[in-house]
Amino acid sequence: TQLLEQSPQFLSIQEGENLTVYCNSSSVFSSLQWYRQEPGEGPVLLVTVVTGGEVKKLKRLTFQFGDARKDSSLHITAAQPGDTGLYLCAASHNYGQNFVFGPGTRLSVLP
Amino acid sequence: KAGVTQTPRYLIKTRGQQVTLSCSPISGHRSVSWYQQTPGQGLQFLFEYFSETQRNKGNFPGRFSGRQFSNSRSEMNVSTLELGDSALYLCASSPYGGVYNEQFFGPGTRLTVL
C-alpha cells in the first residue's frame, strides 16, 4: 500500500516555465523530505520540513509543508534543463526514522 | 568528506544464489539504512542499523538481512535469490537520526537476477 501519493507522475515542460509538484497522504507525518534523483545515481536530499505551514526556499525551489503535516508541495520557478530528474518525497511518522517514499514525479525540462 | 560508497556497482546472479552488498557511510555517520528501488514499487525501506544494532525494519522477508560493523560500515545479504529481487539497492547514511535525519545516499548497487 502506497502511503504517499505524488502528482503528477510525469511532467514535461519548456525551459523557463514554472511548475508545482505535490506529495499527499492521509497520515500525519513528523517530518518530510524532498529528494532529486538522476539516472544511475542515488537520491540527493533537497530539504527537510518539520513544522506545519513551514516554507523553505532553495534558490529557485520553494517547498511548503501543509498546515496539517499531511501534504507538501515543491514549486520550481523558471525551470532549467538541469532540474530534470525524479523528484521524490519521503515522510517519517517517528521523528526521522522509517522513512516512506512516494513513487516520484519524473520531470523533464526541455531546452 | 567522501560520500557514501557502495560496492559492487553492478552484480548479476542466478536464482537460488545469495549475494552480499557493501556500504561505507560518510565518516562519522552512525546510522545506515538500506532501500530497494524498483520501477513498480519505488523506493522501499529494508532496514536501518545504528551503532551495530538493527533499529528499524521494513516489511521484507527474512531472506533479506544485514549487519553493521564497529566502523559503521554495513553489509546487506540476500539469500535464495528470486527474479523479483532484481533492483537497485541503495544505502543511506546519516549522522545520528533525529527529526532532521538528513540521509545521504550512495549511488546504489544494481542487482540483476537471471
How do beta strands B10-13 and A85-92 pair?
A: unpaired
- Contact: B4, A33; criterion CB under 8 Å: no
Q: Is the dihedral of CA A35, A51, B98, A7 positive or negative?
A: negative
Does B12 have pLDDT greater than 60?
yes
A59-99: pLDDT as tens digits: 999 999 999 989 999 999 999 999 999 999 998 877 666 78
Q: What is the structure's pLDDT at B27?
A: 93
How do beta strands B53-57 and B42-50 pair?
A: antiparallel
- Chain B positions in Cβ-Cβ contact with residue A48 (cut-off 8 Å): 100-102
Q: Which amino acid is at B66?
A: G
- Chain A positions in Cβ-Cβ contact with residue B33 (cut-off 8 Å): 99
- Contact: B45, A100; criterion CB under 8 Å: yes
How far B93 CA lies from chain A's nearest CA (Å)? 12
Backbone φ and ψ of A65, nearest 5°: -105, 130
Q: Which amino acid is at B114?
A: L
- On whether the CB atoms of residues B78 and B103 are closer than 8 A, the answer is no
Does A44 have pLDDT greater than 70?
yes
- Chain A positions in Cβ-Cβ contact with residue B43 (cut-off 8 Å): 43, 88, 90, 101
Which candidate, B58, B63, B20, places its Cα nearest to that of B41? Answer: B58
- Identify the burial level of B28 via C-beta atoms within 10 angstroms of its C-beta, where 0-12 means exposed, 13-18 middle and 19 or more buried: exposed
How far B45 CA lies from chain A's nearest CA (Å)? 7
How far B76 CA lies from chain A's nearest CA (Å)? 17
What sections of A13-107 are H helices per DSSP?
A: none
Cis? peptide before A8, omega within 30° of 0:
yes
Band the pLDDT of A2: cuts 50, 70, 90.
Answer: very low
Q: What is the structure's pLDDT at A1?
A: 45
Q: What is the structure's pLDDT at A21?
A: 97
- Identify the burial level of A99 via C-beta atoms within 10 angstroms of its C-beta, where 0-12 means exposed, 13-18 middle and 19 or more buried: buried
The whole-angstrom separation of Cα A101 and Cα B35 is: 10
Q: What is the structure's pLDDT at B41?
A: 86
Average confidence score pLDDT of chain A: 91
Residue A105 CB neighbour total at 10 angstroms: 21
Question: Whose grid coordinates read 544505502?
Answer: B91
Question: Whose grid coordinates read 538500506?
Answer: B34
A17-29: pLDDT as tens digits: 999 999 999 888 8
In B, minimum Cα distance to A42 occurs at B107
- Chain B positions in Cβ-Cβ contact with residue A41 (cut-off 8 Å): 107-108
Across the range B29-36, mean pLDDT stands at: 93
- Contact: B100, A48; criterion CB under 8 Å: yes
Does B99 have pLDDT greater than 90?
no
B41-69: pLDDT as tens digits: 889 999 999 989 998 888 999 999 999 99
